[in-house]
Structure 1
Amino acid sequence: MPGSRSTSEQHDRKHSSWWASTMSRIGPSRLDERRSNGEMFILDVRPEQQYQEDHIPESYNAPVYHDLQRGNIEALDQYLNAIPDDTEIITVCKAGIVARKATECLEEEGYTATTLTGGYTGWRQYERNTVLYRIVSFFRKAVW
């Protein structure tokens, strides 16, 4: 249940290098597979302008990127009501680094959270490679 962790447990996890190195991550291909099944809530923490330019379909924007970068983890609190407590949360930023801070904050609040490896940049690369693979496969069959 969100918010159920003790203060000492939160402190231990926050300052443990072991915990930081084992934080849950998901790759773009696995995210795509699970996203199509509706198994998660995708939280994009990039600034609103970047989100508006392009984003992962069905994601929710909580534009706290710069706040998290500066260490203001409380900035995420105002978005917690929009986040379901019974679904895994996938955090996304530009490259995956700031999203790790969001994942840490969410886990400290009792949510199950995972960071998208490579962030939105990794997602776009995955999309490009997937589309390119489909095009090449289609034309190979047609030519050969």
Structure 2
Amino acid sequence: MEQKILVRDLLVRLANKERLYLLDVRDEDKYRAESLNDYGVPTENLPYLKMVEPDEDIQERMKELPTDRQIITICTSGNKARKAAELLREKGYDATSLEGGLTAWKQYHENGGNEPKQPAD
């Protein structure tokens, strides 16, 4: 079952001080260049492409992810975040992805607090 959260809903949950774990699943270079940290929202980084590798260090790092709060996965547009959230749910985590990713986050703020227009299916 696909799970995702809209920017405005994430902002409400953050404003309500819900204990969330925001996980940026883009590669390290993109994360360092720009992330939700730049907007005052603490975010960790674990690239999706590394999550699917059989690397022991990465698998150990995944085991350290919190089980006591929801993990919100974030990428540029939402695609990798959706896959990462699905992978984490398969491993027993409560995970969902940010719909539209960092792009939607920026557009939301640029549009004065309105969700960006989603393309019609």
Query: When the two structures are superposed, what TM-score results if normalisation uses the length of structure 2?
Result: 0.76
Gapped regions of structure 1 (runs ≥ 5) = 1-18, 133-144
Q: Contact conserved, 1:46 with 1:94, CA < 8 A, in 2?
A: yes
Q: Contact conserved, 2:8 with 2:113, CA < 8 A, in 1?
A: no
What corresponds to 2:96 in structure 1? 114
Amino acid at match of 1:95: S
1:34 aligns with 2:20: no
Distance, in Å, in 1 between the alignment partners of 2:75 and 2:48 is: 7
What corresponds to 1:6 in structure 2? none
Q: CA deviation at 1:90?
A: 0.5
Distance, in Å, in 2 between the alignment partners of 1:107 and 1:51 is: 23
Q: CA deviation at 1:65?
A: 3.9
Q: Contact conserved, 1:73 with 1:105, CA < 8 A, in 2?
A: no
Identity %: 35
Distance, in Å, in 2 between the alignment partners of 1:131 and 1:25 is: 18
Q: CA deviation at 1:81?
A: 3.8
Q: Contact conserved, 1:95 with 1:122, CA < 8 A, in 2?
A: yes
Larger mean CA deviation between 83-92 and 47-56 belongs to 47-56
**Greater helix share, structure number:** 1
Gapped regions of structure 2 (runs ≥ 5) = 115-121
Query: When the two structures are superposed, what TM-score results if normalisation uses the length of structure 1?
Result: 0.65
Q: CA deviation at 1:52?
A: 1.4
SS state at 2:44 partner: strand
- The alpha-carbon distance between structure 1 residues 111 and 131, as it changes in their structure 2 partners (threshold 3 A), is closer
* Equivalences, count: 107
What corresponds to 1:88 in structure 2? 70
Q: Contact conserved, 2:19 with 2:69, CA < 8 A, in 1?
A: yes
